[in-house]
Amino acid sequence: MKVKELEASMMGRNELRIATTLGEIDIADDASSITVNDQPFMLDEQATSLFGKYLKIPTPYLKSCPVDFRATTMRYWRDKWSEAETVVEGIGNNLVSIYPRGLLMLPLDEVVDMVTRVFLPEDDVRDFRRDDKTFHLDVSSDRYQVDVPNPNGIPGRPEVGDITAGGVRFLVYPNQVKAPVVSTYLCRLACTNGMTTDLKQGQIKLKGRTIEEVLDEMECAAEQVLGTLDRQLESYAATAEIAPPGSPLAFAMQLAREVGLPVRVRNTIMDLINQLPSNASVYDVTQCFTTVANQGVKYSTQLALQQLGGRLSFDTAETIRRCQTCEQLLVS
């Protein structure tokens, strides 16, 4: 997808945002749906939990109720706070968010509008996902690229054209008052491996700010990231000439332990590491971690792997400063 297609894609997803009062929300007799301003939203297990939490009903209790009594319970608490100003968000008939009016929740259409100001229409959207927890957008630009040569014929790397593009990762949390994130994002085109800077470092503060101020800060942060991409790409490419401390396997195993990767994921990575030649570089070790991030792992694990890839790429000297025997980080 191209950046110029983002707005149309959002419109095609039928994103809805309805301001109402809690008392105006109609609840079906079998608790299978709610209706707001003639717009129905289905209450599957996830949406039931979401709506129940807004009504301050414990999820285990609500799930254990017979459906007719569940509807009665929901209606009781709805009527108790019937005047509460409420915002309901959905995609089509799917409820994705419900919260008190006045909370600082970023409108996703305005986030997308901000992204289209930062990037050119022909820039690439590498990842675009939206659920009840996260709006995740990775965008890269051909204006920021590096080609990592492979003169020694390292397996797993293209002989020519091992290009990585730079860009920005945007994370917004549509159902939480939680700081959005703007961080450096790299995408290796040969395999779509992604690497990012630490997400905590890219958090945009919400406290004491309006929606407009937060969006302006996100836009400024994205422009700042673009201004550093040439340097970040140069640092990343240089790792192809840096040997890992000790053996690649021991180094990778210690990194996996430090991140707390699940055993299955760790074993998959070690299988890839074992296929590397003796002259493998930090760059090659990095690709083993970020390759597995694309193999259907949990979203949280994917983020952890991609942030580790960022540490190896951007903070290389600090990350590889280790004891040659035990691979533990050395204290400065």
Separation between Cα atoms, residue 292 and residue 250, nearest integer Å: 18
pLDDT exceeds 50 at position 332: no
**Which position has the token pair 């890992």?**
244
Rounded mean pLDDT, 152-164: 84
Q: Are residues 121 and 65 in the same domain?
A: no
Q: How many domains does the chain have?
A: 3
Separation between Cα atoms, residue 59 and residue 51, nearest integer Å: 9
pLDDT exceeds 70 at position 296: yes
pLDDT exceeds 50 at position 331: no
Tell me the H-state helices in 191-326.
211-238, 248-259, 263-273, 282-292, 299-314, 316-319
Q: Are residues 113 and 231 in the same domain?
A: yes
Bridge partners (DSSP) of residue 89 are: 17, 97
Residue 147 main-chain phi, psi, to 5 deg: -110, 115
Rounded mean pLDDT, 146-169: 88
Residue 2, in any domain of the structure: no
pLDDT exceeds 90 at position 32: yes
Residue 65, in any domain of the structure: yes
Residue 104 is predicted with a pLDDT of 84
Domain end residue (candidates: 56, 75, 100): 100
pLDDT exceeds 90 at position 71: yes
285 sits in the region (left: phi over 0; alpha: psi -120 to 50; else beta) called alpha
High-pLDDT (> 90) share of the chain, %: 74
Domain end residue (candidates: 223, 241, 259): 241
Domain end residue (candidates: 43, 68, 100): 100
Residues 6+ apart with CB under 8 A from 215: 106, 110, 111, 114
Q: What is the mean pLDDT of the chain?
A: 91
pLDDT exceeds 50 at position 213: yes
Residue 330, in any domain of the structure: no
Q: Which two tokens stand for residue 155?
A: 């397996």
Residue 324 is predicted with a pLDDT of 59
Q: Are residues 73 and 144 in the same domain?
A: no
The number of residues making up the chain comes to 332
Q: 46 lies in which domain range?
A: 15-100
Sheet order of strands, 39-42 included: 15-21, 85-91, 94-100, 39-42, 33-36, 26-27
Instruction: Return the higher-pLDDT residue of 130 and 124.
Output: 124
Residue 10, in any domain of the structure: no
Q: Is the separation of the CB atoms in 124 and 60 below 8 Å?
A: no
Separation between Cα atoms, residue 301 and residue 212, nearest integer Å: 32
3-class SS letters over 125-177: EEEEEECCCCEEEEEEEEEEEEECCCCCCCCCCCCCCCEEEEEEEEEECCCCC
Q: Is the separation of the CB atoms in 291 and 195 below 8 Å?
A: no
What confidence tier does 172 reach under pLDDT thresholds 50, 70, 90? very high
Residue 118, in any domain of the structure: yes
Rounded mean pLDDT, 130-152: 91
> What is the residue type of 167?
G
Residue 85, in any domain of the structure: yes
